[in-house]
Structure 1
């Protein structure tokens, strides 16, 4: 199966979705399963993982409801406050939800560079393995030092880095990001999503060739067995269409063996999220 490991749904609200700035005004509207289903039929996608875009339990419930109503939504990455003193009971409550595969926090939005290493957050993360949950790491490159320390603390916890940790492709920055990603890639419990790349380049003038050094590094650091394709739809639409996003990855991996390509385009996501 071809699986999109990373996409979002929302009923647009200006305050809730204030991260959608003026440059991204084209996605200030609702994006729901009926919109994506057509896109998937056109692009040969069999299923997806829906990821939280708002930090509320209501968001988690909203995505779970959509998954129950739509066969192609194979799993959900929700949000819960992992810092909460009551987090164990929250995780237990959701453990009966078959579509809930893991959790994510918008760490990129936290002013504290060491947010991931705070004791209350670490305590929450320490409980995920008990329930078989995954954790999606959403950070900027300047937070990768904390990520390295963070993932080493939980060698049995399944982690995945979203959007190749958002390197500043538009500015051509590479070295600092690359050296930390190589170190993180040595931790065998960490995967990486080939997603969110065109929106880190110039929205209007990016080229696939600009992205190649970043994708090459990710493939080298994590190997075909720990890399997965994701579209970041509908966010990707500010810089391109779905076919372009998929094509960037499929063209880049076309020189790999058939099995490697299948892993990246679906099998790894199926295994990681237990779809």
Structure 2
């Protein structure tokens, strides 16, 4: 099985601060993380390709990520950022595709979790931007909190031509063990055909120091039941995941969470779904023994 990590990040604090890394709990992330750091861990886990995802709402970041993709054998796609409220958002997307590495642009994401308005996705200017993303043939990744999921459902209904990918399953409250109302809104989103999800980031929604696979299983089970393997994709959320687990443990945990699936379903979660949803170039063929 060829594996794709559909969600990871990199940053260089000398180039740009990551202003979301605050407080003692996140202190281990306040250093540089590069593709050179990730590559050996991904290789050890059997990951052949990846999707590099934005971290800050700064226009300069996406061209930097695209340049990294152009020079990397690991990065097959980039989910960048552009201002969805910009009346010229279609032009901005076209400009990004003309940049070095622009052919790796597969989607855009906004830090909706930081927006004080829980219905931000439904603003007329945002919906106009989402329609431009759809017209460009790109995907929209969603980083939201559970209380924002009702607006996600309504936005996905309002823009049926756009594929919405729910990052981190919408950050359910794993540490508390509570399922509702998160579960109700996850079901509602999964009922829409233009949606997919990543069971990524669950380890950092759990008790960072004492989590077990059993803590994550109710959330992963609901996602599997309602999205199905054909709309779920593995993502490590590296390096954020390192607050709770190293890369190989995240992969091993995802394998445990999918241990009841058949080989085709597991192949979907660990690569085929991401390749289809993001339109990634085919992975190189396996070497054959001689």
TM-score per shorter chain, which class? over 0.9
Q: Which residue of 1 aligns with 2:64?
A: 62
- Equivalents in 2 of 1:169, 1:20: separation in Å? 21
Q: Is the 8 A contact 2:63 2:96 kept in 1?
A: no
1:12 CA displacement:
2.1
Structure 1 residue 135 displacement after superposition: 0.4
Q: Structure 1 residues 198-207 or 168-177, which shifts more?
A: 168-177
| 1:234 has 2:235 as partner | no
Within-5 A mapping of 1:55-134: 55-96=57-98, 97-134=102-139
CA contact (8 A) 1:95 1:131 kept: no
Tell me which residue corresponds to 1:9. 10
Q: TM-score, normalised by structure 1?
A: 0.97
**Contact 1:159–1:191 under 8 Å retained in 2:** yes
Question: Per-residue deviation at 1:221?
Answer: 1.1
Q: How large is the Cα RMSD of the aligned pairs?
A: 1.2
Please give the alpha-carbon distance, in whole angstroms, between the structure 2 residues aligned to 1:144 and 1:130: 24
Q: Is the 8 A contact 1:5 1:269 kept in 2?
A: yes
> 1:254: how far off?
2.0
Q: Is residue 213–residue 256 contact of structure 2 (8 Å, CA) maintained in 1? A: no
Provide runs of 4+ in structure 1 moved above 4 Å. Answer: none
Q: Which residue of 1 aligns with 2:174?
A: 169
Distance 1:235 1:95 in 2: 28
Question: How has the CA–CA distance of structure 1 residues 124 and 244 changed in structure 2, closer, same or farther, with 3 Å as cutoff?
Answer: same
Structure 1 gaps, min length 5: none
Alignment length (residue pairs): 275
Quote the offset at 1:37 in angstroms. Answer: 0.5
Secondary structure class of the residue paired with 2:83: coil
1:258 aligns to what? 263
**Displacement of 1:84 after TM fit?**
0.8
Aligned with residue 163 of structure 2, among 158, 165, 177: 158
Match of 2:20 in 1: 19
SS in 1 for 2:198: strand
Distance 1:164 1:150 in 2: 16
Q: Give me the whole-angstrom Cα distance separating, in 2, the residues matched to 1:113 and 1:271.
A: 30
Report the equivalent of 1:29. 31
CA contact (8 A) 1:16 1:54 kept: no
TM-score between both structures, scaled by the size of structure 2? 0.92
Aligned to 2:228: 223
The alpha carbon displacement at 1:94 in A equals 2.2
The alpha-carbon deviation at position 16 of structure 1 amounts to 2.9
Q: CA deviation at 1:15?
A: 7.7
| Rounded Cα–Cα distance in structure 1 between residues aligned with 2:17 and 2:88 | 24
